[in-house]
Structure 1
Amino acid sequence: MTDRPDVLVVGAGPAGLTTALQACAHGASVRIVERRREPFRPSRAMIVHPRTLESLRPLGVVERLLRRGDPSPSARLHLGRRVVSTTLADVALRDTAFPHLTLLRQADVEQVLAEALEERGVPVERGVAAVGLAQDRAEATVTLRRDDGGAEPVSCGAVAGCDGQDSTVRRATGIDWRGRAYREEVVLADLDLDSDLDAGVLHVAAGRDGLVFLFALGEGAPWRLLATRPSRGGDAPFGQPGQPVPRPELRELLDVAGFDVAVGRVAWSARVRLQHRLAAAFRHGRVFLVGDAAHTHSPAAAQGMNTGILDAVNLGWKLPFAAHADEPDTMLDSYERERRPVARQVLALTHLVFFAEAAGHPAPAFLRGTVAPLLAPVVPSLTRPTLLAPVVRLLSQGWVRYRGSALSSERWAGGPGPRAGDRLPDETVTCDGMRTRLHRLTARPGVHVLLARDAEEVGASVVEDCPVSVHRLTSRPGRRMVAVRPDGHVGFRGTAVADLTAWLRLVGARARSADTATQPADTATQPADTATQAADTAET
């Protein structure tokens, strides 16, 4: 903890914790505050996508996340009287170490990230709310108030507003919050069930009234219920658990869905109001909006937590690097210019999927209630890995690229391989005589420069807070140089050291010597991630 941190993160959900961890890993002094006193809250997100795991891998938390999750979930689709089984264990994505969807509770994600921060000496300060904000060109000042009433003004270099849909930070900046409420709501409950349902399977029922999910990942009781239905109104904050749902209404949801179960103890239940909105700006001076504070949408397609984490990975390294950059504002502006278009497209995707899943309009209701059961016999053929791969790539945001970004320097146009702004694919390469995978080679914080076999040597100077590691790929012929950003996107592609140096200066990075930076992949991971190493070995 420091009196004048480089970054003050407001909100300790997945987006806030990732922002703090990414900034800390790249040299920033960080404080993170959370108005909730208790760490636990009911999980609203349950799926982690491949791209999210890739982005978190350099932070050394993926092995712990995978231990808590299920990387090979199975599902049973209840379509009328028909039940169809499918598995999501391997969706045939060959350019990633994580070719699967992972069933993982948001509460577990938050705990793993908070523990990783604690290990870096950055505890989450709970029971602390941001109640005021002012800024000038030099710094921002946030007034913090503790549960005991004590107030503290904190000056900092930047504020990351990760405080959810009802963001205090966003309201303090006056940034417009554009969108509207949905006519549907979500019902959540943890409960005991007397049934023959397999507890190791995600059960999904589709009907005219919407979708009902049942899975054995409850946090107050064995089973979690998630269902959509027409909104009952109310004034609870959007996205937050509202009023409890009476037991008869829970039984009715399960009966209408066709589940032959008896409801026992209800540990807790809640209605959750939904909206889809997008902040008019993601940056206001020294203030940045991340995750649900910047964009919010329905839970369809499992985008909320994953998109927030990817926002955080994008912003977290730029805040400390900007201090060394030739053009700091170019660095900081790139966050909004890269991530707001992505958020807009995610909003469109989730709006479309949610319309199909939950809308009371006659067309989707007919498709769910009448057409879906008729298609049940062909569903297994539609869920083959080769057909699921493009769907998972879409949901996982594998399509995201920043080619038009000011941080994307393309100096070798027309050649094969990812262009500046693209995600770095995971491929098998040889580095220093060792066969490895690209994502294993780059699985530590910092910028990574990949030199083809005949590329020029890169001179070395070191800025401690902005590490750059240099790797020579002897299996890649030619003179090409590729610089990979800390968020896994290519920032530079070219053949001239002068052009590479100009890009490093633009983003505020400096290169370590090739002798000390090019290491065996085992020592390049911080800390060693044995689960992902095993995945790499299997793919190689």
Structure 2
Amino acid sequence: MKRSDVLIIGAGPTGLVLALWLSKLGIKVRILDKTATSGTTSRALAVQARTLELYRQLGLTDAIVNNGHKMPAVNLWVRGKQAARVPFEAIGKDLTPYSFLEIFPQDQHERLLIERLQAFGVSVERQTELKTFVDNGTHLTAVLSGANGHEETCEAFYLAGCDGARSTVRKTLEVGFTGGTYQQVFYVADVEAEGQAVNGELHVDLDDADFLAVFPMAGNGRARLIGTVRDNRAEQADTLQFEDVSSRAIEHLKVKVNKVNWFSTYHVHHRVAAHFRRGRVFLLGDAAHVHSPAGGQGMNTGIGDAINLAWKLAVVLKGNASDNLLDTYETERIGFARQLVATTDRVFSFATADGPIANLVRTRVAPLLIPSVMALDGVREWLFRTVSQITLNYRGMPLSSGGAGDVHGGDRLPWAWDGDHDNFDSLANACWQIHVYGIAHEGLVSWCALRGLPLYVFDWKPVHQAAGLTRNAFYLLRPDTYVALVEASDDASVLDRYFAERKIQPRML
């Protein structure tokens, strides 16, 4: 009987990132998928700034940035005219090393993850399907079915359901998946095109025509069109071709399509699972939450799930924490998923709602308000922080404690770069670590040396104050780079209390 530490069901980006993170930390995994090959087409395009920050731990960031397309701005159109342009680079240049939206299609993304995973000696087991599983309390027993119908029984300490919106894992657990389905039928088309809206930036039509977004892709004139089909043609969604799609919105954005490389239609759901953990089983990605494509959040949120869970599984499996640590996965991720579904639902409903009032708001009110609102620095920064996911935090949750200045336990560590030193460089190490900006007190230095925890001390500079950091305070960082504890005093004993209360041993992973 094959045994592993973690059995991962589903080899999309979420499952692959989980497998890669765990493998890097020395955890034995199996990852399987019922498909014969990885995807050759994709709907997910956007890799947000926060994902690129976290990917530094896996050595993936440079490969994605160098092989994708940096999208510097989003443009909103109404009645065939550009109503507003929001440049990401100008807004985010002091907030993150990645002040842009990276376009890197999911099929390329998956191939990169699979390649890196193979370097750890782990391959995706294709045409292999989970049939049943039993949680025995101390481990799991699962029955798998291979390509030839041969059944295999295997064991694992934990099981991760990364198997999509129709998750077998979630259905087996009988976990609720409340929400609904948007009535609109969506289409997605990869095209070769030209025109004002094919300039390397994102363009969105807010009009009484069908909703349309034009995403740039790497390569001259390549673009991804995502739109809706609202009229009675939606009833024949399965047989629709690109030629059947309304051209009104395409004409409004002044796009001339020269060639269609790929076309598909689909429905979009908005749902969140009632629980993300049951015993030794976890739900991640689309198995736990699905929502509209507004803001390019879906794939990034699933990757965030994987990184949040991976280090906790590694700590527990290595005996450095009790199983209770794993409860914080649901606590930290389910609230964000619910908020995300609600937010994207509101945005999407505004952009696609039918009716005279909705059309009036989009075509008359929005053109007057959007340019004025987007001209405000605070609004532009809020929008960038939200879409890029750098504002996501775990404040007030069990693993978060303390605060000083603008930074509290549970926050993403603010980025600070003075032209020579980047405080994110040390975050490539997936471990507990401590940062001090200013002077590290002797007691803290001794505490870190005794326990073998890395201590990084940065000379205090104006960029640290501008980022919201506090001089001489110390910041305990989790292995996933979020701030666990902030302490403004020189009392290192708060670290002992922090770990003791949570039954965690602060050891290197």
**TM-score bracket relative to the smaller structure:** 0.7 to 0.9
SS, match of residue 300 in structure 1: coil
Q: How is 1:234-273 mapped onto 2 (pairs within 5 angstroms)?
A: 243-250=238-245, 252-254=246-248, 257-259=251-253, 265-273=259-267
Cα 1:223/1:418, change in 2 over 3 Å: closer
Give the structure 2 partner of residue 320 of structure 1: 314
Cα 1:118/1:501, change in 2 over 3 Å: farther
Give the structure 2 partner of residue 500 of structure 1: 495
Cα deviation per residue 1:91-148 (whole Å; 9 max; x = unaligned)?
2351321222222222222222222212222222222222211112111122222222
Cα deviation per residue 1:191-224 (whole Å; 9 max; x = unaligned)?
45576764534343232144212345399x9442
Larger mean CA deviation between 12-21 and 335-344 belongs to 12-21
Q: How is 1:100-499 mapped onto 2 (pairs within 5 angstroms)?
A: 100-193=100-193, 198=198, 200-217=200-217, 222-230=222-230, 243-250=238-245, 252-254=246-248, 257-259=251-253, 265-324=259-318, 328-373=322-367, 378=371, 382=374, 387-410=379-402, 415-416=404-405, 418-428=407-417, 436-451=421-436, 452-456=439-443, 457-458=446-447, 460=449, 468-475=453-460, 480-494=473-487, 495-499=490-494
Give the structure 2 partner of residue 534 of structure 1: none
Superposed displacement of residue 333, structure 1: 0.2
Give the structure 1 partner of residue 467 of structure 2: none
Tell me the TM-score normalized by structure 1: 0.82
Does the aligned pair in 2 maintain the 1:218–1:224 contact within 8 Å?
Answer: no
Cα 1:470/1:509, change in 2 over 3 Å: farther
Distance, in Å, in 1 between the alignment partners of 2:375 and 2:131 is: 49
SS, match of residue 91 in structure 1: helix
Give the structure 2 partner of residue 510 of structure 1: 506
Cα 1:356/1:154, change in 2 over 3 Å: same
Cα 1:362/1:134, change in 2 over 3 Å: farther
Superposed displacement of residue 336, structure 1: 0.4
SS, match of residue 421 in structure 2: strand
Does the aligned pair in 1 maintain the 2:71–2:200 contact within 8 Å?
Answer: no
Superposed displacement of residue 468, structure 1: 4.3
Superposed displacement of residue 375, structure 1: 6.1
Distance, in Å, in 2 between the alignment partners of 1:468 and 1:294 is: 34
Cα deviation per residue 1:327-373 (whole Å; 9 max; x = unaligned)?
52321000001111111111111011011111224433222234445
SS, match of residue 56 in structure 2: helix
Distance, in Å, in 2 between the alignment partners of 1:148 and 1:175 is: 30
Superposed displacement of residue 326, structure 1: 6.5
SS, match of residue 100 in structure 2: coil
Does the aligned pair in 1 maintain the 2:16–2:113 contact within 8 Å?
Answer: yes
Distance, in Å, in 1 between the alignment partners of 2:398 and 2:216 is: 46
**Aligned CA-pair RMSD:** 3.3
Superposed displacement of residue 257, structure 1: 4.7
Cα 1:190/1:450, change in 2 over 3 Å: closer
Does the aligned pair in 2 maintain the 1:207–1:257 contact within 8 Å?
Answer: no
Distance, in Å, in 1 between the alignment partners of 2:421 and 2:36 is: 44
What residue identity is the alignment partner of 1:81? G
Give the structure 2 partner of residue 49 of structure 1: 48
Give the structure 2 partner of residue 62 of structure 1: 61
Distance, in Å, in 2 between the alignment partners of 1:393 and 1:98 is: 12
Superposed displacement of residue 297, structure 1: 0.6
Does the aligned pair in 1 maintain the 2:49–2:101 contact within 8 Å?
Answer: yes
Cα deviation per residue 1:17-66 (whole Å; 9 max; x = unaligned)?
12112222223111211222121242212222211211222111111111
What residue identity is the alignment partner of 1:440? D
Give the structure 1 partner of residue 464 of structure 2: none
Does the aligned pair in 2 maintain the 1:321–1:507 contact within 8 Å?
Answer: no
SS, match of residue 425 in structure 2: helix
What residue identity is the alignment partner of 1:419? H
Q: Which runs of 5+ in 1 are unaligned?
A: 237-241, 518-540
What residue identity is the alignment partner of 2:495? L
User: Are 1:32 and 2:31 matched, yes or no?
Assistant: yes
Distance, in Å, in 2 between the alignment partners of 1:461 and 1:35 is: 48
Q: Which runs of 5+ in 2 are unaligned?
A: 462-469
Distance, in Å, in 2 between the alignment partners of 1:428 and 1:264 is: 44
Cα 1:261/1:327, change in 2 over 3 Å: closer
Distance, in Å, in 2 between the alignment partners of 1:286 and 1:179 is: 25
What residue identity is the alignment partner of 1:202? L
Superposed displacement of residue 80, structure 1: 1.4
% identical aligned pairs: 30
Tell me the TM-score normalized by structure 2: 0.86
SS, match of residue 367 in structure 1: helix
Cα 1:332/1:499, change in 2 over 3 Å: same
Does the aligned pair in 1 maintain the 2:12–2:110 contact within 8 Å?
Answer: yes
Does the aligned pair in 2 maintain the 1:93–1:389 contact within 8 Å?
Answer: no
Cα 1:283/1:197, change in 2 over 3 Å: closer
Does the aligned pair in 2 maintain the 1:10–1:160 contact within 8 Å?
Answer: yes
Cα 1:99/1:197, change in 2 over 3 Å: closer
What residue identity is the alignment partner of 1:297? H
Larger mean CA deviation between 269-278 and 494-503 belongs to 494-503
SS, match of residue 273 in structure 1: strand
Distance, in Å, in 2 between the alignment partners of 1:385 and 1:79 is: 22
Distance, in Å, in 1 between the alignment partners of 2:165 and 2:2 is: 28
Cα 1:202/1:450, change in 2 over 3 Å: closer
Superposed displacement of residue 265, structure 1: 4.8
Tell me the number of residue pairs that the alignment of Structure 1 and Structure 2 aligns.
Answer: 492
SS, match of residue 114 in structure 1: helix
Does the aligned pair in 2 maintain the 1:141–1:156 contact within 8 Å?
Answer: yes
